Structure 1
Amino acid sequence: MIVNYDFDIEESRDGLKILKIHKDGKKVYIGSKYRMKECIDKILKEDYKSEDGFTFIIFGIPNEEYIKGIYKNNEKIKVIIFEPNINLIEYIKNNYEEYKFLEEENIYLLNARNEEEVYLSLKKLIQEFDLTKIIYKSFLNYDKIYEQQMYKFNKVVKNAINDIAIKRNTQMYFYKRWFETLTKNLKYMIGATPINLLEDKYKNIPAIIVSAGPSLNKNIDDLHNIDKDILIFSGGRTLRSLVEKNIQPSLIGVVDPGEISYKLVENYIEKTKSPLLFYEGTNEKVVEAHQGQKIIFTQNSMIHDIFRMEIEDIGVGGSIAHDLTATAKYLGCNPIIFIGQDLAYTGEKYHADIAINQFKKVDENSVSNEVENIYVEDVNGHKVKTSIVLDNFRREMEIFIESNKDTTFINATEGGAKIKGTIQMTLKDAISKYKLNSKISFMQNIEQVDENKIKNNTIEILNKIIESDQEIIKQGTKALEAIKDLNVYLRIGEKSKINKYLKSLNNIDDKIRGCYEKLEILRSIIYPTIYNILSGKKPKTHKEIIENNKFLYKSILDVSKEVLEPIKNVKNEIEKMEIEHD
């Protein structure tokens, strides 16, 4: 992805700096030796429709005139630049004054040498709110000179944007469910063990992560009689498969809020003795049905406040396998062994036949013709069909593995996509090499929290949330009235009244913002409103600004009213809880 071509910096006939690249015995200009200004003006016209808030992703370092041109039309933009020529990058570092224009606010020259580094940089710089406002381009003829590098960069940009879009779509889809699961799971979190209390408790203990990929059929039977020698971590989909083979997992993890999460474990989760790993977003029926020990992680600061500790967030994205892998790492497990982690449609199957939904037929497990024709390298060096989502899961897993080089990761799936950073081995060989000839006791002698104290903290925090929510309802109602009056005075142009109502709205804004900052519980349910405002066009006219504010206040008011009763109900329910004492 990076090359080291020599280059010259010259001056075009119309007085602009121009790069001349030495490639394959030829010398090629970036732009035109004679009409460089005309070239720049032409591409600036193409970008004229961009607005404040747009993100430019540019392949190749532009010249100063282009950067000044796009900033002239739009001051509040973000510019992300990838330069494939390492010699030019080094020159810029050593000749700072010549390229001082790259120090403008919100200009980011990627310091990345390979696809993975570029991908990670893009994921940090592009927000989900940016997705509808991205301009992606090659600077002039960079794409012709650096054709192979451009091809690779295109692929990385596509993957990064797809993965950010997947995250956005998940948040948009589950925004109400996450609020529901939080309120319904709260009473079960009170008596659960924060994952922090398990940190490094199982140092150098091997752990197997059981996933439901098509290859699980090949080696699930090898898990018999090893549960005291190796920890076995299972997602919900594979619980039935294990139980029906008399294999008891050390830990079950369920994080999905959807109804399918419960359907996959129904009639099995109720009877299992295995501890459950969950968080506030887990389907509440799963949490309620599970009768054993529970372990929590969290992505909500309210839970930190309740427990008076920074509870670890091991939700690293992707599937439950990713979260179980992060859990194994956090617990100190080493090596971490994957089975059923195909991350592909091995044998044209969605899942292992033994792990499909218990209410579905086996023939429904065959991949349909509508599935995307995306292929990746498999564990044997051949090609295997996958999907955008599964390929995203693979990349996320590879990033996690790359970030944890002190841990050995073994892919014992015996099929599916190749996972970079893992050692390929059969499960039998992995068990033979790594199993401990000692008895592992999972979740024994672990420090417990003071449930009474946690219960009282929860009630106290819920009371504050109710007060803040009621204040938001009061201020939101005032804001809508003020906007109605402001609209009238804008039409007749009465400046003193306009200023009065604008000042009043600013005061209301401050009060709502102050209350909203205390309401982490509303984060997911208000997300679509925030997304629609931040990803939409910036309002320019008085009418657009008023409509934008009206939409915001009405949305906040509606949400605040909607959540008030459920929050009161959960508080009352927790107040009536009786804490069992050992």
Structure 2
Amino acid sequence: MASQHRRDNSLYRRFPRLHLLQAGEGCELLASKTNELSIALTREGRSYYLHDPVQPGREAELFVSGFKEVKPQAHVIFFGVGLGYHIREFLRRHPNTSFSIVEPDTGVMNIFLQHLNENDWLADEMIEEVMVGAITGGTLGTLHRLIDRVSGVLVVPWLPYGSLFTAELKKFNEILYRMVSNKKDKMAINNVYEKKWALNSIHNLPFILHSSDFLHTGSEHIEGKPVLIISAGPSLNDEIEHLRHIRENNLAYLFTVGSAVNTLVEHGIYPHGTFSYDPNEYNVNVIQKVIDKGIDSIPLIFGSTVGKHTLDDYPGRLMHIIISQDELSMDILRTPEGHKPTIINDAPSVAVIALQCMIRMKADPIVLVGQNLAYRDEQYYAEGITNSQGIPVSVNSPRVEGVHGQQVVTNHSFIKMKTEMEFYINIARETKFINTTREGAVIKGTSFQNLEELIRARLKGSIEDSWLQTSSNPEYDPHFLKSRIEKLQRDEEVFQKNMEQIHHALLDIKQKLSLKQANMLNVSFGQFDELFASLLKNDFFKIYVLPRHRMRYEFLYSKMDAIRSSRNPLIRGEQILLYFGDFIWKCQQDYMEIMSEIHEFHCSIHT
């Protein structure tokens, strides 16, 4: 009878890996005086009940009554399942809450599955994931995907698990905290920048059309040549005279990133170029010193989504790189040969942008200067930097290994930059990477060498830099550009009609829901799905509207499978109105706000 129950259990159908569970030891199923079941778990010769041995059901009711308010969008993770009394009671009180189960003991999970009464569970509707046993790579992947899908998490440990599985619960909470923290960072970045990226692309396109593609123009000159990527860490102060010697003798290419250009200019050293990519409007402050001094011999290598007005008054040559967040340039730009522009991935720091470029251009060696990624005497900017206040050191600041074998104080932003930099370095295994940053953090994949020693040992020849001062002709096909703009104008008309139809389809679903016409909703769902699929294929929507709502769409996408697999038409209809309705409304509002700027941009291309 038990095996038949196993085969019919919907949890096994949803999560076939549960069939692979091995029967655990030290678990015993017991019956109370009221014939309610409990589990006794044996640890080091002692037995522990996972539920009250007399009234397990009543115990669960009292436990769940402590959760007075559960946010409607919260996803609940039950740590410890036992026989599920508390989960059943929780779902009875909060029937529309999605949930997952984490059970650290395989024996307990086996007993639970054997005695699961499916009438108490909406397994096909609300359960997201089941994780059993020790936290392994597979479990981490499952948990990571879960965190990406849900909008909020509430961890509910069952009463005895806090003492019986103390280490497991602590480890789970630490991993969960890191994952949620990383997701919040990603969401914060996208929430801040997703609308800036799209509008910056429009504003910067004229500058792109009248400047050189840095990767295309520079590759033949930089390949096989030494390049220094100079950051504004405090160790930069130590290297000024060495950098002056390199620049005066043209021993290597010097490219500054971010604020480092100010330190070099302050000391009368003009690098071969400076990188800028931050999408904020105040990004122009980073190069204000160059603008104010009217220095026209330092090319500005700008990311295509760089902050508005960064480029307006720059006195020197402009060279561009297309950033992965720039949907517009990727769609409308082609070389005369019909090739798309080379794309550089967006990154947490401009140093990582420059590093990607040099790897693509096959520079060798690539030398990092002033890339401390750590504090030095509670300082992390070089002298001459006036546009940033920095982050103060605290007693709780994390520490990482330093280049001299010591521990150095850092912060979470530096750690993210370091991790990203190490990722690209690890990919380019044939390139030599040298970190010259004194008292900085270790960057895996690089070898440490003092810059003075590097000059003596490796920088023997000279580089040719005249190409950096030579203007070049536009590199993109004007006919393709105009044809794409004309196509986008036609697609805008289709987009407007599509949005109106979707609005009426949502109203239709809302009306049928109010009348409880469950049998008629499936037709409306089919019509809505077709309209929404058509919207996603519309180029105008994909290029101008969707990039400004990346996070909302990712959240909506995470809900799509659950919504479409819902067997209850009324629940499905409510979810469509809630999730799709909100997304469509926000897109429509945003379109109205940016419509005039898009139209002005389209007209400028035709003139």
Normalised to the residue count of structure 2, the TM-score between the two structures is 0.71
Q: What are the within-5 Å matches in structure 2 for residues 432-443 of structure 1? A: 432-441=456-465, 443=467
Q: Which residue of 2 aligns with 1:328?
A: 358
C-alpha deviation, 1:404, in angstroms: 2.7
Q: Which residue of 2 aligns with 1:162?
A: 181
- Is 1:554 the counterpart of 2:585? The answer is yes
C-alpha deviation, 1:73, in angstroms: 6.0
C-alpha deviation, 1:570, in angstroms: 1.1
How has the CA–CA distance of structure 1 residues 56 and 188 changed in structure 2, closer, same or farther, with 3 Å as cutoff?
farther
Q: Which residue of 2 aligns with 1:281?
A: 305
CA–CA distance in structure 2, aligned partners of residues 9 and 415 of structure 1? 54
Q: Which amino acid aligns with 2:264?
A: L
> Any conservation in 2 of the 1:237–1:355 contact (CA below 8 Å)?
yes
Which of 194, 200, 212 is the matching residue for 1:181?
200
Q: Which residue of 1 aligns with 2:600?
A: 569
Pick which of 178-187 and 290-299 moved more: 290-299
> Any conservation in 1 of the 2:150–2:555 contact (CA below 8 Å)?
no
CA-based RMSD? 4.4
> Any conservation in 1 of the 2:255–2:271 contact (CA below 8 Å)?
yes
C-alpha deviation, 1:401, in angstroms: 2.6
Pick which of 152-161 and 469-478 moved more: 152-161
C-alpha deviation, 1:433, in angstroms: 1.9
Q: Which amino acid aligns with 1:530?
A: Y
Q: Which amino acid aligns with 1:235?
A: V
Q: What are the within-5 Å matches in structure 2 for residues 108-257 of structure 1? A: 109=138, 125=145, 128-130=148-150, 132-133=152-153, 158-197=177-216, 198-199=218-219, 201-227=221-247, 228-257=250-279
C-alpha deviation, 1:302, in angstroms: 4.0
C-alpha deviation, 1:341, in angstroms: 1.1
Q: What are the within-5 Å matches in structure 2 for residues 36-435 of structure 1? A: 40-42=81-83, 45=86, 72=123, 77-78=128-129, 109=138, 125=145, 128-130=148-150, 132-133=152-153, 158-197=177-216, 198-199=218-219, 201-227=221-247, 228-269=250-291, 271-290=295-314, 291-299=316-324, 300-305=326-331, 306-307=333-334, 308-315=338-345, 317-357=347-387, 368=392, 373-435=397-459
Between the aligned residues of both structures, percent identity stands at 18
C-alpha deviation, 1:75, in angstroms: 6.9
Secondary structure of residue in 2 paired with 1:466: helix
How has the CA–CA distance of structure 1 residues 471 and 84 changed in structure 2, closer, same or farther, with 3 Å as cutoff?
closer
How has the CA–CA distance of structure 1 residues 240 and 53 changed in structure 2, closer, same or farther, with 3 Å as cutoff?
farther
Q: Which residue of 2 aligns with 1:467?
A: 490
The one-character-per-residue Cα deviations of 1:204-260 (angstroms, maximum 9, x if unpaired) are 322111111222222233200313211112113111211222222223111111133
Pick which of 484-493 and 459-468 moved more: 484-493
Q: Which amino acid aligns with 2:304?
A: E
Larger Rg: 2
Q: Which amino acid aligns with 2:82?
A: D
Q: Which residue of 2 aligns with 1:94?
A: none
C-alpha deviation, 1:311, in angstroms: 3.1
Secondary structure of residue in 2 paired with 1:344: coil
CA–CA distance in structure 2, aligned partners of residues 67 and 446 of structure 1? 73
C-alpha deviation, 1:12, in angstroms: 5.4
How has the CA–CA distance of structure 1 residues 378 and 40 changed in structure 2, closer, same or farther, with 3 Å as cutoff?
same
Secondary structure of residue in 1 paired with 2:408: strand
Normalised to the residue count of structure 1, the TM-score between the two structures is 0.74
C-alpha deviation, 1:289, in angstroms: 3.0
> Any conservation in 1 of the 2:323–2:346 contact (CA below 8 Å)?
no
Q: Which amino acid aligns with 1:563?
A: I
